[in-house]
Chain A
């Protein structure tokens, strides 16, 4: 059955099957140990998705950059910087402030990668360090306001019709990104540039603007995630974004987006995020010591990529 799917859909299908496997294995575990099935209760799943929203929004931005064959390592501190600046400004200006930070970082990253042509891996790493430095310098001497604003709290914690608002935000970002990727000239140019930059350039696509646009999207997504996360944890703090970088890359890649760019669908990233969120929650239900999740995490990524790779070889 899997063999008939297009190469784009196959990783998504495999990842979806894997989500099913996680749910079954996790439920079997809880049935045996405690006789309950928390994993299958809608409330629990919604709660997991609510925490998954932050990762999901980061991954959406990261995907744009990875589709170009680049990577954005500045996400952790873009997220933190946006959140911390937003709380410091506070009030109604908090959201515009957060997004402005994301925009500025994205523009700067894009400039370095597109115009200076410095490898994104190292340039965004440098930007991440500088942002960390700025935040430490800014907040160290005195303690600026770090409480979440009411809007942050609403977006991250409230529920509408019993569904967390954060999930709506994530859904809105998802719709926006997938419309951009499939329906706009910019989105198609992202694929074209990531697929073969020389050919895209010779087709008259302004590849430098495309690169900047993708990094800006990534910066904005990280900033929005920071805005929400502040609401969820009630305040902004240094290092709040550290836990998002590697899972975001992993989610994008597990969803079938090629790490060298040009191929991948947003639905895959969505499935990848859900996979990682559920994997994490099942591992935490099993109450493994911290070591277990790490090892399983790495093994799952390698294992799944080996499966994808083998399929690709057969079809080519």
Chain B
């Protein structure tokens, strides 16, 4: 085994590798500086704060890979958050039904986005701007005031460590085979499980590959006989599903739903930032949801720093903005390398 495949992977995934490295570095330093660094408690708290944004960032990734943009992800997350706050309680069967219904609702909303974009022939930006308003309206209709109820056991089990999860549901939490994993936070495992079980297969399906091909060169995709309409619809649908995962988790984590327009907008904007940080090109065709997941983690870790460094909270938004601006400015390097100025306009 040589190092060649690794070198090639690095070359082809510079953005993602950079994001991963950046995340590893800043999270390591964070833990070193934290008085209770490397403890289960810190991991649990951190992952709880990161999961919803990570899901929304993954949701944004799929339309971006197509060369589009989904301005409704934050709103869909909020909508599903409110649905979950109504449904995820009661008997185990009811809870399960509530979770499935929440995910289906978000997926259906994504499907609607896809149909509007493909058959209505409306630009994704403007179409999702409008459907986002509809999603927000539905969320407000379901939950005019913040609140709701989510099963307490579920809340506890999913927002703590594996040990707590096993303990809550009456498994043998102290069994020896569980011991190596006992301190891992459940939320991050849920996130990784969904990424591996949903995103990875999608990327390796013909539809998923078509999403990449359309974003990279739609003409070549057509010439190669790929299912373009199906891929576009699937991309928005999958985005809806990921957003619903985020909404469901937020409901379980906070035990409530909140149809907050500002918060929805902030999630949408941060999702775009996370996508860019994670190495996905806004022009489409290159990148992936795992990168965006890392991008979301980076954004969150930056905010963790504010706490331990006791940076004036007033400076936080400024630093967040500067990080985003500097990160996207790396895109300018391509511009400087162009030799034929007509290529700039393509």
> In the bound complex, how far is the Cα of B320 from the Cα of A116, in angstroms?
21
Contact-residue size bin, chain A (C-beta under 8 Å from the other chain): 35 or more
Judge if B179 is at the interface, Cβ distance under 8 Å: no
Judge if B103 is at the interface, Cβ distance under 8 Å: no
> In the bound complex, how far is the Cα of B338 from the Cα of A116, in angstroms?
12
Does the CB pair B137–A297 fall under 8 Å?
yes
**Closest CB of chain B to A218's CB: distance in Å?**
17
Judge if B100 is at the interface, Cβ distance under 8 Å: no
Given A140-B314, A298-B132, CB of A117 within 8 Å of CB of B320: no
Could you say which residues of chain A place their CB within 8 Å of the CB of B141?
289, 291-292, 295
**Chain A 118-146 per-residue mask, 1 if CB under 8 angstroms from chain B, else 0:** 11011101111111111011001100000
A286-316: which have CB < 8 Å to B? 289-299, 301-302, 305-306, 309, 313
Chain A residue with the shortest CB-CB distance to B135 = A298
Given A140-B314, A259-B125, A289-B144, CB of A294 within 8 Å of CB of B136: yes
**Closest CB of chain A to B133's CB: distance in Å?**
3
Could you say which residues of chain A place their CB within 8 Å of the CB of B269?
73, 125, 129
Chain B residue with the shortest CB-CB distance to A297 = B133
> In the bound complex, how far is the Cα of B141 from the Cα of A295, in angstroms?
9
Which of B126, B129, B329 sits near A118, CB closer than 8 Å? Answer: B329
Given A197-B345, A249-B129, A305-B126, CB of A126 within 8 Å of CB of B321: yes
Does the CB pair B273–A294 fall under 8 Å?
no
Interface of A, secondary structure class, is helix
Judge if A75 is at the interface, Cβ distance under 8 Å: no
B316-330: which have CB < 8 Å to A? 316-322, 324-325, 328-329
Does the CB pair B321–A298 fall under 8 Å?
no
Does the CB pair A301–B129 fall under 8 Å?
yes
Does the CB pair A123–B328 fall under 8 Å?
yes
Does the CB pair A130–B318 fall under 8 Å?
yes
Does the CB pair A242–B282 fall under 8 Å?
no
**Chain B 171-209 per-residue mask, 1 if CB under 8 angstroms from chain A, else 0:** 000000000000000000000000000000000000000
**Closest CB of chain B to A10's CB: distance in Å?**
16
Does the CB pair B321–A291 fall under 8 Å?
no
**Chain B 135-163 per-residue mask, 1 if CB under 8 angstroms from chain A, else 0:** 11111110010000000000000000000
Given A117-B332, A137-B314, A201-B341, CB of A295 within 8 Å of CB of B133: yes
Could you say which residues of chain A place their CB within 8 Å of the CB of B331?
116-119
A255-294: which have CB < 8 Å to B? 259-260, 289-294
Chain A residue with the shortest CB-CB distance to B125 = A259
Does the CB pair B324–A129 fall under 8 Å?
yes
Chain A residue with the shortest CB-CB distance to B346 = A198
Judge if A250 is at the interface, Cβ distance under 8 Å: yes
Which of B129, B138, B318, B334 sits near A291, CB closer than 8 Å? Answer: B138
Does the CB pair B137–A292 fall under 8 Å?
yes
Listed residue (A112, A126, A136, A253) with the most chain B CB atoms within 10 angstroms of its CB: A126
Judge if A176 is at the interface, Cβ distance under 8 Å: no
> In the bound complex, how far is the Cα of B268 from the Cα of A121, in angstroms?
12
Does the CB pair B321–A132 fall under 8 Å?
yes
> In the bound complex, how far is the Cα of B4 from the Cα of A316, in angstroms?
53
> In the bound complex, how far is the Cα of B319 from the Cα of A136, in angstroms?
11
B105-144: which have CB < 8 Å to A? 116, 120-123, 125-127, 129-141, 144
Judge if B52 is at the interface, Cβ distance under 8 Å: no
Which of B272, B319, B322 sits near A121, CB closer than 8 Å? Answer: B272
**Closest CB of chain A to B211's CB: distance in Å?**
19
> In the bound complex, how far is the Cα of B137 from the Cα of A292, in angstroms?
6
> In the bound complex, how far is the Cα of B131 from the Cα of A243, in angstroms?
17
Does the CB pair B325–A127 fall under 8 Å?
yes
> In the bound complex, how far is the Cα of B265 from the Cα of A118, in angstroms?
22
- 28 A–B contacts, CB within 8 A, in A order: A73-B269, A117-B335, A117-B344, A118-B329, A119-B283, A119-B331, A121-B125, A122-B272, A125-B269, A129-B317, A129-B321, A130-B325, A133-B315, A133-B316, A133-B317, A136-B315, A136-B318, A242-B265, A250-B130, A289-B141, A291-B138, A292-B137, A294-B133, A294-B137, A301-B126, A301-B133, A305-B122, A309-B122
Extra contacts, 7 of them, besides A126-B324, A140-B312 (Cβ < 8 A), are: A116-B335, A122-B276, A129-B269, A129-B320, A250-B130, A291-B137, A298-B137
